[in-house]
Amino acid sequence: MQITLMQHTSLEICAHAIRTCWQSFENSDNGDIKDKELINRVGNKFKHSSTLEHLTYTFYISGISRALLQELARHRMASPSVKSTRYTLKELKDEDSFTDGLSAAELINKYKNPTEVYADKHMIRANKYLVFTDVLSVDFSSVIALENLRLILLDGIGNDKAKYCLPESYKTELTWTINARSLQNFINLRSSKSALWEIRNLSKELFNNLPKEHQYLFDQFIN
C-alpha cells in the first residue's frame, strides 16, 4: 500500500469560514496559532463540525485490494476515481503462468515453510497484482484465481465479462478526495480493532500522510 497526499486546503481557509459566521475577522491578526486554536475549539470542542468541511484532502492510494475498495464505497462523503478494470486488465496478458499448472493444494505441498513460499518467483510476480493476507491457503487460492483470469483473457474474453473472475485480493488504485469532517469519521471507524485489517492500516497511513499542522484535528479519533 502506498499513499501520496496530492493536495490539501490550508487551515487559513477553514479559519476564515468560521470567522465568516461571527464576522470576527479582526481576531485573525495573531496568525497560525490562533487559527489552529479557533478551528479546534469550534470544529471539535463545540461540535460545529460542518466548518471542517472547508478542509479537503486529495490522496493517491495504490496497492489496495478490491475488498478494501468496497469498504471505501461505504463512506459516501468522499470522491473516488478508481483504476478501471474495463481498460486495464490487458496488463495480465503478457504475464507468464503464475502456477505452472499446479493446483492450490499442490502449490502448498511444494514448499516447506512460509518464508520459502513468498520468496518464490511466481509468488513475487503474483504479488504485483494481489494483496496477500499471509494465510497460505487464502493466498494460494488468490493466485489460482489470478491464473484463471489470465487464461480467460488469453482466450479473447472481453474485459467486461472477464472481470467477473477477479479475486477480492486483486490490487487497485484510486485518487480519493475527502473533507476533514468525513475523514475524522473515517479514521474513528476504520482505526478500530474490529475494522478490516487492511482498512485499519489505511486509516493509520492516511493520518500519517496528513500535513503535520493538520494532525491535531484527527489524533483524538484514532483508536
- Nearest residue to 139 via CA among 110, 104, 111: 104
Burial bucket for residue 103 (CB in 10 Å: 0-12, 13-18, 19+): exposed
190 belongs to the catalytic site: yes
Q: Which is the catalytic residue, given 41, 125, 190, 200?
A: 190
Phi and psi at residue 62, to the nearest 5°: -135, 160
75 touches 195 (CB < 8 A): no
CA distance 188 to 184: 6
CA distance 16 to 78: 23
CA-to-CA separations, 222 to 40, 56, 145, 183, 189, in angstroms, rounded: 16, 19, 35, 11, 9
CA distance 72 to 141: 24
Catalytic site residues?
Answer: 190
